[in-house]
Amino acid sequence: MLGARFIVNPVAGAGKTGRHWPQIKALLKSCGLGCEHDITEAPGHAVELARDAVGRGYETVVSVGGDGTISEVVNGLYQSGDMTEATLGIINTGTGGDYIRTVGVPRRYEDACRSLLQQNHRKVDVGTVEYHNGGDTVRQLFVNFAGLGFDAEIVRRTTRQFKSLGSTASYLLGVLATLLCYRNRRVTLTIDGEVTGPEVCAVIMNNGRYGGGGMLTAPGADIGDGLLDVLTIGNISKLDLLWSLPRIYKGTHLTHRHVRMQRARRIEVSAAKPICLQADGDLLGYLPASFGIMPAALNVIV
């Protein structure tokens, strides 16, 4: 087996990764880690690069970028055929850093580089989502969270219109832009066999605790319990949603009368009208979709 292969997304963090990569590379070499790496060239490229790295015998594949880069690398490990063949390392240089807040990877890239030397491993759960695309059923993993409705619309607007402004500013502008035109939708929601038909603003399947650049979306989420924390925001008004937004950053939104949190292993969602779907900030398409969990499926260096 070979050592570490670094997958570098230069555009992550509004280009911050590309600007800092020379310093990171120098630091890695000074730590004796070497610096065999690949540079991503387009969205989805990290999936291919990570899959190929495992196929070539690398023991560790390190994501250098943001949450989206981590998600792509993990999907590449999954596509390699056996996620246990390689360990995930993370050097966060993205805008949000939501996943590392939960998993315990240092935020400063200097500290993250040094943690790669210590090789402290943690086994964590990984979420799964199955959805239809062009008549085919697609299965994809997510490390942090997946969502539909208002949540996915925010992702769509944030990534397409405001990404260059940084995590918090871009997310808030995405929220405000979505508020202007979004309408709550009725869905058929099945959580571990319990079927309901609520009108919802959003449904978010959380593996990690944070989303949206620091929102404490699921305060009690545990990435090692074999469960997803399912946050359902019901038929809330736009004014109430806007007024309640600061509570999500504090994690106090769970007491709101239109908010429900449940833990589950399998969730299925369908709707009569098109509703957007996202996973780890990547727009996937539309409902119907099913979500699940792969317990202790991933080894992460922390």
Chain segment 46-98, per-residue pLDDT in tens: 999 999 999 999 999 999 999 999 999 999 999 998 788 889 999 999 877 89
Helix (H, G, I), strand (E, B), or coil: what is residue 69?
Answer: helix
**What is the reported pTM?**
0.91
Q: Of all helices (H) and strands (E), which one includes residue 116?
A: helix 109-118
pLDDT in tens, 142-197: 999 999 998 888 777 776 655 555 555 666 676 777 777 889 999 999 999 999 99
Q: What is the mean pLDDT of the chain?
A: 90
Output the pLDDT for position 170: 64
Give residues with Cβ within 8 angstroms of 224, minimum separation 6. Answer: 122, 123, 124, 125, 296
Give the model's confidence band at 288: pLDDT under 50 very low, under 70 low, under 90 confident, else very high. Answer: very high
Q: How many CA atoms lie within 13 A of 7 on its CB side?
A: 35
Domains of the chain are 2-119 (3.40.50.10330), 127-295 (2.60.200.40)
Q: How far is Cα 22 from Cα 94, in angstroms, rounded to an integer?
A: 16
Q: Of all helices (H) and strands (E), which one includes residue 167?
A: helix 167-181
Answer with the residue of higher pLDDT: 178 or 18. 18
